Amino acid sequence: MTETKLRALRSIEIATHCVPDLNACVPVYRDLLGFQLVDDGRLPESLATAWATPNMAGMSYALLQPASGAEVYLRFIETGHAGGYWPPVTQGWIATEMLCTDPDAVAEKLRGDDAESAFTRIGGPADLYPSPKSARALQMAGPAGELMYFTRILRGGSRFGLHGAKSFVDRPFIMVVGGLSMAEIEQFYGDVLGLSIFKQEPFLIRQMSRVLGLPSETAYPISIARIPGRGFLLELEELPPDIERRTVPDGQLPEGLAMVSFTSAPLPELNLDYRAAPRAIDLPPYDGRTVAIIEGPAGEWLELID
């Protein structure tokens, strides 16, 4: 892709998960975590065309909004595929991190009988660093194996100026992406998409090391890409060299956490390689806005919403 000096990404709007069964996911997020079903149906051909995924047309989907009313959504699409989740670890979009008021209370709620088979604890709740105002996070695998983080941010507790949750479980605010080369990932999100990249630091991700069979003290290079404003971040992770790319079924989105949608700078002003010509979509939450798809260096798909 040709570099652009524009800040291409403005905010996170949708985290899209391809799942085997909508009925295993939607009731859990609605009844246990307070999300509201705001749209469902079958994917129209117009959207499948915009994504250059002809075999997605007609698949059932559900769009969920947090109880806070924030216009940042979870979208589940029923593809029937069970792969691409946690484990195994694959390159691409890895996790959706959502704000919450109390990760310990979330853990307790998801431990109940109704959630026993729906969520599996991966790690936490635990403070992320030694400070009275530390962010505190819980990592869970959801009903389709989707890796979800639930994070509490106290007032003044974020060095990035992020604000805390407005409902028990609130909006996605950080998306995690992993690839084999931090240099390539930083170049894409920094130079190509114009985000501010913070200096990378080694970080222990014990749950990943456990899945990969590596020592618990294995350190992973991590960087933060800051989306303009104080609402959203991307976490960039460098994975061990033997981690494979996510499977992409023919004519479909990648499996698992398939795609992240961002509001963007005007698409005609971005000199990017789109999978298909930008196209206006009437479906919520697009409401007539134009969308286009690009791919990142780890095979991750980004939907840009003009």
pLDDT tens track for 144-166: 999 999 999 998 778 788 999 99
Strands (E), 218-289: 219-226, 233-238, 256-264, 279-280
Which domains are seen in the chain, by residue range? Answer: 9-305 (3.10.180.10)
Instruction: Give the integer Cα–Cα distance in Å for 150 and 102.
Output: 8
Contact 247, 255 (CB under 8 A): yes
Nearest to 269 by CA among 194, 176, 205, 172: 194
- Mean pLDDT value across residues 229-238: 95
What pLDDT, on the 0 to 100 scale, is given for residue 224?
A: 97
Q: Are 195 and 7 spatial neighbours (Cβ–Cβ below 8 Å)? A: yes
CA nearest neighbour of 79 among 143, 30, 17:
17
Cα 184 vs. chain centroid, distance in angstroms?
19
- Phi and psi, residue 49, nearest 5°: -70, -40
> From CA 256, how far away is CA 84, in angstroms rounded?
4
pLDDT digits (tens, 9 = 90+) for 189-209: 999 999 999 999 888 888 888
Write down the pLDDT at residue 303: 98
Evaluate if residue 4 carries a pLDDT over 50: no
The overall average pLDDT reported for the chain is 93
Residue 117 in contact with residue 32, Cβ under 8 Å? no
Rounded Cα distance between 32 and 245, Å, is: 32
Amino acid, single-letter form, for residue 183: A
* pLDDT per residue as tens digits for the range 53-111: 999 999 999 999 999 999 999 999 999 987 767 778 899 999 999 999 999 999 999 98
pLDDT of residue 86: 77
Tokens of 217: 């003290």
* Cβ–Cβ under 8 Å, residues 29 and 88: no
Dist. CA 57–CA 73, nearest whole Å: 20
